[in-house]
Amino acid sequence: MQIIPINELKELHGLLPLLPMLYVGWTNGILSPTEILRLQEYVNSQTWLTTQEQGYLKSWLNPQNPPAEAQRHDWLSVIRDYSDGTSVVGLADFGRYIARRVDARLDEEVNRALEFVEGTLGARGREAIRQLIPQTYDLPVLVESQSPSFNVAQLTQTLDGQHAAFKQRLRQLLTTPQFAYHQSHDSEAYRADVLRWLEQLADQGLGSAAYPAAFGGRDDIAQYLVTMEMLGHHDLSLLVKFGVQFGLFGSSILALGTRHHHERYLAAVGNLQLLGGFGMTESGHGSNVRGLETTATFDAATDEFIIHTPTESARKAYIGNAARDGEMLVVFARLITQGEDYGISPFLVPIRDGQGKLMDGVRIVDHGDKVGLNGVDNGRVSFEYVRIPRENLLNRFADVAADGTYSSPIDKESRRFFTMLGTLVGGRIGIGLTSLSVAKNALTIAIRYANRRRQFGRNDQPETLLIDYKTHQRRLLPPLAQTIALDFALHGLLDQYAASVKQPMQADTRTIETLAAGLKARSSWNATHIVQAAREATGAQGYLAENQLGRLRQDCDIFTTFEGDNTVLMQLVAKERLVALGKEMRGGKIVGVLLRQLWRGIRPKKSHKITSSHLRDSRFHKRLFAAREQTRVLALAKRLQQLVKQGADPTDAQIAAQNDFIRLADALIDRELLAHFLRGVAGTKDPAVRAVLDKLASLFALWQIEQDAAWFMENGYLSRRKSRAIRAEVESLCEELRYQALHVVNGFAIPDALLAAPIGTR
């Protein structure tokens, strides 16, 4: 077959953009005869090629008579003329670059053609480019720049958002010498340090920020929660003590008490004159707090409640601030009056007098050493007929008159109970935000180390940076992307929650509660996984205590359990989604026919596109995430319906389908995270910052899709080929982001004094 001379080849402007793909396709032998025929047909319809160009192209697409070695060699020479160090991300992109260089036609149609050919080829990304320009292995022709592609301070501003000034103030406060980390192994000394720190925070008015101005506060729940977020960069024992004192204890008085409680206690809680704790959990009743057994029996004769621990399993357990410092607890106990049990209500119960002596009938056992958080004095508390005045009932949702008559504005016991639990929502957002900070600390340490430490490599060159290893990128970069997704989502939720506190009547409380539960779970798991990944990624260095990863792991680990066990919270998310489905169907009842209709409605438009631009398109991600959630909620509804129809008790049905509950919740949280991330990207003004965030959003979405690829394939949402392409695209994104990741973590702006890890300093 005829070989076209190089000079003539260079004039075929319409063909030049296709040469990279032709070369890779033939050289790798990745074109099957069928694919070649498909390309041949396609060529006929391309009006942007001259007849001569079409002719040549067809002659090059003959499986019986492939282009000669010499011809391919000439293609390569021409291609290399255009490899001048510009960074291109794939074959179609390279084609576009060549088209621009030779002023060839480059409109929608040509672009579509390039993407079609790239898609048919299936050879994608940088690696294909490297095949064309092998010296890129030696020279940094297409290697990403190690200097930042964006202004790091701008990223910090984007992430800090409206809280920028306040966060900056806290970064400064927490790096002052009085907040230097505690060093000894002596728990008592550590507890004393934590209490001292807590006093500093109270002095700054940070603890009472959420309380009404009338009681020493600033009516600013957002500031209170952002303080929790910032404490996540520092010491988690302090964070927990802070949350117990001002959040669980103080907010309970605010939310469950009435004016006389507020007047008497709130200011003292805010300025630490009164230290307290939150007595909900019992030894036998952790997640299932409706099973609490402690009793509060009203004695009309003395106008008192008698608080009592009737069994071993009723002992209040893991109560923060109880073992050493607390003087009062909000105790949740079954309110019994006139012989009737009215369910669980909150009571203020003094546990120590002003001199630190235990009150009569109160017994407290120090829980002693814990896995972490040993700066917090957790204790197990039991009561032996402890008498408190009637007014110590926090009586916003239920009251008892002097004669023992019970009254409540909320009829149903279960609704009363869940209204009471609503006070936990703020705490869950706080734990989500704190976990976010833990993840950022660990990522900063590990990613900085990976950009310094070298190990192995070619003999003729410096050893390879850890971050250049693909396994290292996979370990750290997708979790980095998820962390930023969580950052946007938690701050979005925080705004919504703060607004709801100001205007409760207009708030969508259920959505906020659901999201708070789901994001708390995801964020605490994210932190746990990242700390572990960071420890492994920093090798023996990461195992030295001085590099903090051990401390972070031991301290943050319990976040997956407390303020609601993650698995229980995820079930709650799924349940709420089912309720919403019921409402969508109006009757509140899920009817088979309707189900089937909805089902058909969500069948995916199948797209086999595997070009980079399609795979990175957020519309593609959103469509998949929405379809997954919808499919799962409908499938779960149907399954539950069947189980119940066949006689299963609803509780048993839920246990039988429990894994499906979790899978539905995962899908919902992913969808929310992506939506918040994309909103955050869209709201970013600085184009360079937006560009890097945009890539991270794609990485987050594709990584999640990759992890669930089996399900997407099973349900017909992904072809086998596309699933493979997604895996490769995740790797490409990791590679593109590997140096920028360093600047992204720098954008978290965590002061070195807070990281306190020699391998993680700036």
- Which 164-223 residues touch its own copies, going by CB under 8 A? 185-186
Nearer to its own copies, 43 or 718 (CB): 718
Which residue has tokens 């409109």?
107
Nearer to its own copies, 161 or 286 (CB): 286
- Alpha carbon distance 676, 699 (integer Å): 15
Binding residue (CB under 8 A) for its own copies from 554, 613, 618, 630: 554
Segment lying near its own copies (by CB under 8 A), choices 65-73, 603-611, 710-718, 753-761: 710-718
CA neighbor of 231 nearest in space, from 198, 255, 257: 198
Nearer to its own copies, 583 or 721 (CB): 721
- Amino acid symbol at 291: G
Instruction: List phi, psi (to 5°) of 410.
Output: -115, 125
Site for its own copies in 485-514 (CB under 8 A): none
Segment lying near its own copies (by CB under 8 A), choices 228-236, 285-293, 335-343, 629-637: 285-293
563 belongs to the catalytic site: yes
Binding residue (CB under 8 A) for its own copies from 87, 149, 496, 532: 532
- Alpha carbon distance 405, 256 (integer Å): 19
600 lines the binding site for its own copies (CB under 8 A): no
**Geometric angle at alpha carbon 619, from 616 and 620, rounded to 5°:** 60
Could you tell me how many residues of this chain bind its own copies (CB under 8 A)? 85
Segment lying near its own copies (by CB under 8 A), choices 54-62, 155-163, 260-268, 460-468: 460-468
546 lines the binding site for its own copies (CB under 8 A): yes
Nearer to its own copies, 49 or 657 (CB): 657
Segment lying near its own copies (by CB under 8 A), choices 104-112, 164-172, 441-449, 716-724: 716-724
Are 225 and 430 a contacting pair, CB within 8 Å?
Answer: yes
Segment lying near its own copies (by CB under 8 A), choices 382-390, 415-423, 451-459, 687-695: 451-459
591 lines the binding site for its own copies (CB under 8 A): no
Segment lying near its own copies (by CB under 8 A), choices 89-97, 247-255, 408-416, 719-727: 719-727
Size of the chain in residues: 762
Nearer to its own copies, 160 or 731 (CB): 731
Segment lying near its own copies (by CB under 8 A), choices 144-152, 465-473, 478-486, 598-606: 465-473
72 lines the binding site for its own copies (CB under 8 A): no
| Shortest Å distance, C-beta 619 to its own copies | 23
| Shortest Å distance, C-beta 414 to its own copies | 11
Element holding 591 (H helix, E strand): none
Nearer to its own copies, 269 or 709 (CB): 709
85 lines the binding site for its own copies (CB under 8 A): no
Q: Name the catalytic one among 563, 629, 706, 735.
A: 563
Parallel, antiparallel or unpaired: strands 295-299 and 328-337: parallel
124 lines the binding site for its own copies (CB under 8 A): no
**And the tokens for 607?**
């797209």
- Alpha carbon distance 746, 327 (integer Å): 42
Segment lying near its own copies (by CB under 8 A), choices 13-21, 53-61, 260-268, 530-538: 530-538
Are 520 and 569 a contacting pair, CB within 8 Å?
Answer: yes
**Geometric angle at alpha carbon 553, from 549 and 555, rounded to 5°:** 115
146 lines the binding site for its own copies (CB under 8 A): no
| Shortest Å distance, C-beta 573 to its own copies | 13
**And the tokens for 264?**
């008497």
Binding residue (CB under 8 A) for its own copies from 169, 262, 264, 474: 474
Nearer to its own copies, 166 or 342 (CB): 342
Q: Which residues contact 692 (CB under 8 A, 6 or more apart)?
A: 149, 150, 155, 737, 740, 743, 744
609 lines the binding site for its own copies (CB under 8 A): no
Site for its own copies in 618-677 (CB under 8 A): 642-643, 646-649, 651-652, 655-656, 658-659, 662
Report the b/e string of 58-79 with b at 16+ CB within 10 A.
Answer: eebbeeeebbeeebbebbbebb
Parallel, antiparallel or unpaired: strands 379-383 and 362-366: antiparallel
103 lines the binding site for its own copies (CB under 8 A): no
Site for its own copies in 231-270 (CB under 8 A): none
Nearer to its own copies, 381 or 494 (CB): 381
Distances (CA, A) of 46 to 11, 99, 122, 300, 499: 18, 16, 21, 93, 56
| Shortest Å distance, C-beta 372 to its own copies | 7
Q: Which residues contact 192 (CB under 8 A, 6 or more apart)?
A: none
Nearer to its own copies, 216 or 286 (CB): 286
- Alpha carbon distance 129, 671 (integer Å): 34
Enumerate the H helices of 122-251 as residue ranges.
Answer: 125-132, 152-160, 164-174, 187-203, 221-231, 236-242
The neighbouring-strand residues paired with 305 are 298, 388
- Alpha carbon distance 319, 144 (integer Å): 52
Binding residue (CB under 8 A) for its own copies from 34, 52, 135, 414: 135
| Shortest Å distance, C-beta 673 to its own copies | 21
Binding residue (CB under 8 A) for its own copies from 70, 402, 540, 593: 540
Site for its own copies in 367-406 (CB under 8 A): 367-372
127 lines the binding site for its own copies (CB under 8 A): yes
610 lines the binding site for its own copies (CB under 8 A): no
Element holding 427 (H helix, E strand): helix 425-450
Nearer to its own copies, 304 or 708 (CB): 708
CA neighbor of 752 nearest in space, from 295, 444, 296: 444
Distances (CA, A) of 596 to 49, 593, 600, 638: 48, 5, 6, 10
683 lines the binding site for its own copies (CB under 8 A): no
Binding residue (CB under 8 A) for its own copies from 139, 189, 682, 710: 710
Parallel, antiparallel or unpaired: strands 386-389 and 399-400: unpaired
Parallel, antiparallel or unpaired: strands 340-350 and 276-279: unpaired
Q: Annotated catalytic sites, by residue?
A: 563
